[in-house]
Structures are given as C-alpha cells and as structure tokens.
Structure 1
C-alpha cells in the first residue's frame, strides 16, 4: 500500500491547499489534460485564450490572467508529451495583498488516469476531478439484525457510516397456552416477517446503487442469535445482493457500536481491508511501546533522525498531521533559522521576525514546506514503507492525539 498511500496523502494535501485560494476576480486558471491527449492542441488553446484575455477591461485582472497563462505555457514546454496519467495545472495570483501579484503554479500528475479535459478561468481552482480520485470506491455492506432492531451501514476505506437504524413492534414470547398462544405466535411470526422485509427494502436501497457502480465488494451480516440466519434463509434481500454475502458473524451489540463490532469480528474476512490493516498496525505499535522493545520511535525530531540514519522500516503519518518546516534567512549577513510549526503559527512568526537578530537587516527571506511530504520523500528515498493513518478509527484518533501523528517502526535499534 506504501507508494499508493503516500501518493493519495500528498494529493489530498495539495487539493486542500488549492481549495483554500480565492482570486479577487476570475483570474485563477485550472487546466486538466487527460491521459493520451495531444499537448500541442492544449498549447494552441492557451494561445487563443491569451489573445482573448487581452480584451479584459480590468487592468489588474488582465495582468494576472495573462501572467497565469504565460506561466502555464512555459511549464507545458517542459513536457515532450502528456504524462501517462494526464496532467492537472493550477496557476494564478494568490497574493493576499491587493495590487500585489504573486503568481504561483501547481503541476499535478495524478495517481489515476484523468478522463476529463477542462480549461477554466474562475475565482477558485476546480478540484472536483482530483477529489473524485480521493474518494474511496470499494465498499462493504454491513447489516446487524435482531428481533426488534436492525442497523444498516457501509464500510468505505476506514470509515463506517450508519445508513439506517430500524426498530420493530414484534411482541415478545408469551407463556400462555392453548389456542390464544398459537394465535399470538402467528401474529408474532407475521410481525417478524414484515420487519425482515422492511430491513431488506432499506438494505436494497442502500446497496444496489453501490452494486450497479461496481463498488460493492461484499456484505457482512451479524447479530446476537439465530435471527440473522433467518433473515438470510428467508431470501428477503435482492437476489443479486444475496450473492454478495461474504460472512455471517455473531455479535453482542446493535446500532453504530454493533457495526464497529461487526467489522472487528469479521477481521479474518476483511483481512486485506484498509480499516483492519490500520487497526492491526497501530495495535502493533502500542505493543512495542508497552514492551519498550526499542524498535519504534515517534515525534518529528526522532523520526527525522531515524530516517537520516536509514533505520526506518515503516513510516507512520496521520492524515491530520499539518506541521510545516520554515526557514528564515538574512540576505545581508547569511544568518538563518530553521523551525517546525503549524500554519497559523507561521503567519504570526512571519510578522514577528522583521529584523535579523545578528545584523539588524530587514532583508529577510522566508521559505516554507510541508513536513509530512518532506518525511515521506526521505522514507521513499531510503526504501522505507509509508502508511498513512486515518482519523476515521479510534486507533487513528489515539495515534494522532497521543503521539502527534508521526512515528516509525525501525529496522534496528538506534541510540
């Protein structure tokens, strides 16, 4: 999962960054070039757009659009042909100061083939095609069934979503004897039958669209007693969905917690699924921590040191990790300082550091980059695995809150 996981993580971070920009006018350029498309045709279109943009009435908007198109065309000259999976360009003025131009360009070679061709000049960058790639496609249907309640959910990636929670009016068993008891039992059976039909109708509604899109990998059904088998044997589910049943599990709980228990108890069935792999990974990390084996480390400085030594077997990074590395340098005397901080701390730091502490000069330059991307690159260069830990599981939340969201399994003990 390593390379794909890291690619998706980096793409998600870039998409979030791009969504944060807003132009003062329709001056942010988005360009999607699909896999296999002729770059010469793209260049021709941009030249035509450049000619059209010269008629924009607003002087500042015209300047920024022309500048963006120039940057885009310059960048496209770096490619002899369209990359194998296509190319997405985002370019425009992202300066927060009115009247100041700061044209930046992001070039993204997507992890999956682009199918859309798009040129748009707008106040925001168009990120939907990339967001669709980030959406987890594979899904598992989950159903917990009891006599009086049922829960329907979907496991997608590492996230469990509750779709429906149903309750019934099925009466409890009676001890009365004779004809009234038999009549009571018939009523009870009829109520149970109607409840099973209702569960199936809701499940069909939730799962059939996933099946039609080719996203439904399987259905797991759980419950505390024989009711789940009655539900399956009664053939209440749509016949195509019955073919997708891959497991039946005994569980104790219902509701959202019941779905979580269902996934945990079905770990053998789902052993290759992301949520199970992530849970086992973090549990293994905790075991090493408790036993003090010396084969794990955590925290940015410690993990960075281990990566520099080539001692990291697997790098663990939480998708919530958002620290940046900042370097400030005095262009007069050469003094520089390197720090790690949050994005919000960076804005405060930049306002605070106005003079060089060594020579007093105001001629300072700031450089900023994403720590997670830097460490992932270091890991890939040293042949280490990379696992991105989600915030969708309890273990993932605990890893982020208790350990800062960054750790590593080691190849050997380090001092």
Structure 2
C-alpha cells in the first residue's frame, strides 16, 4: 500500500473517533455498557502510540468525563471494568497465506489504578491489529457518551461499520445473540429478544446517534430465523458531532496545550499531559524551546518533548548550573546597586551645588565680591574670566561652587549657619 494512502487510511476522522477492529467489536458482546465505553475510551487514548508504547496512562477523571460518568471516585466499579476487559476473550479468524488462522487474546493484558491514574497495556499482537486493522469500524466517542443502554451501544458498534453499505446483511438468531451478549435463557423466545435487544436499542440509537436503523426480521414459515438491519445517516448527526459535545474546550484554550499543539503533539496526548502534569510539561517545553534556539536539537521538537515527558527526564538546572546562576545573579545585583548609588550621589551633588549657589547669590553684593576676590586671587585663569565675563562664567562658577561647598561642610561641622 502506498505510504500516502496508508497514512490517509490510518488517520483518525476527528478528535473523538477511534478505529476499532471488527473482531474486537464482534467478540465482546458480554461486556456491560460501562466496560464497552471504557474499552473504547482507553483505545482512543492509546491509539497514537499503540505501536511504539506498551504501557498507556489516562487520568481517572478524564476517563470518566469522556465516558459521561460522574462517579470518578468509585474506583471499585472502574476496577471491575478493567477486570472484565482483562478477562474477556477476543477471537480472530484471519486468512494468512490462504489458510485460516485462529487467534485468541484478551482486550487488556494489564490494568492498574493508582493515585488517580489508570494504567493499562495491550498484547503486542492485538495492538498491531487495533492500530492497523484490515477492516475497521469508526466509533464516535461523542455519540457513545449519549448511550445509557449496553445493548444499544453494542448494536451501534456492530452496525456502524456497515453505514456505507446500508445494511448489515442477515445474521442468524444465534449469531445475533452472541454478538449482543444476549445469552439469558429468556432470549431464546424471540418476543423477549425483540423487545429488549432490538426494539429498545434501535429506539435509543435513532434518538441519540449519528445513524438510523430499521429492523427487518428474516423468517422461515412463521419462525424468525435471522435479523437484518438497514442503516442510513441520521438527519441529526451534525448536532452530535464531537465539536457540539466537546467537554474539553476549556482545556484547549490552555496556553500549555496550545504550545504543545504548535510543536505538533497530538490532541489527545496534549489533553492527557496538561490534565496530568501541566507544570512539568510547561518546564519541558521551555527547556526544549531554549535548546532549539541554540540549534541543539537534531530531530523534531515534538519527538524530543515526547521523549522527555515519557522518560520522566529531569529538565531543571543541575546543582552546578544553579550555583553558577546564583553567582551571576549576585554579581548583577552588586553592579546594579553600585550604579544606583552612583546615580544617587550625582543627584545629591547636583542638589547641593544648586543650593549653595542660590544661597551665594542671596548674599550682599559687597560680600560676594570680597569672596570672589579672595578665592580666585591665586587662580589667574579664573580671575581673568571673572573680570571679562563675570561670575556666570563656567570656570568662575565651578571654582566658586567648590569653595562654597567646602565652606558649607565646614559650617555643618562647626554647627554654625552659612551666614
């Protein structure tokens, strides 16, 4: 298959849809509504890294929110659901080299709930099938949240893949009961099977989902021997798009989330990281961007960000770097303080010069003249400037202010006044 065609085929249709192998849909009919929803959510959460990561994580609060379940504190029920996923067999009948290949596994090979985080794993062979199935169905998580009936969700999953064809074809009653997990003895009577497993689920699917089902019984004489469902797109599907039921719009406004998206991190992974450890993610982004500015990253920033976060790498400064930064900061503070003191001294000098000059100009003219003659007598250049330009000459004024400031300081030491 050409690479471009393969990429197109594997691309998720939206932020809240997941491609699910038909065998994985058809062999777990015994799962409850909660278990089926959880199975789809954790697959959606892990989808981008199914082939590269064995262990996946999702915050319990996010998991419950995506299921439309408000009992995130009820870990016992979540444990029961994980237990069911880890023990429900999934069978595959595949053709390999022209021969049938029967395979069996479970949905999960490992599950754990600790500190508000759900951790889980898929068997490697199953992960490959789930990521790149030969035939897949698209499960809309936004639609899934609307279901409150396990039979409705099960029927939806088993019918949605035939939407393009328009019909499921005929399923025998035995096959249909197995697909739906309707194994109770009462369902051996068709009237009860029809009431609980066909009519009621169809009613809910047609009310809340993106497809519309019509049921056609297949008979042999008076006995119903098979079932067939006609499928078409629902007229209300636009109202049920993920965008219309997006519970994460606020998170997507988060600056850290937006920075992750700018680096090419996938939507679901960005949501998960921001909800789980935003402060650390922000520190990683800062670190990567700083290194990228120095051209110290050879590959993509997205790959480097993901590696650092998933490897739990420390991105803070080393002890040496911190001490070095402290020295630099101290030296900067010393320079800044010296500059401040210098500016303050210049300002004090300016004010003092202005003060003594204004005071000098208030003296009687005879006293000013006597002071000038006395102080400038030994300074020929200053005296010549005084006789030609007066006391406003810069050289005259500068010399006089110097003498006036010395006089002022002497008087301050003696405790006397200027005059």
TM-score by length of 1: 0.23
Q: Larger Cα Rg: Structure 1 or Structure 2? A: 2
Tell me which protein shows more helix as a share of its residues: 2
Tell me which protein shows more strand as a share of its residues: 1
Per chain length, whose mean CA-contact separation is higher, i.e. which structure has more relative contact order (CA < 8 Å, sep 6+)? 1
TM-score by length of 2: 0.23
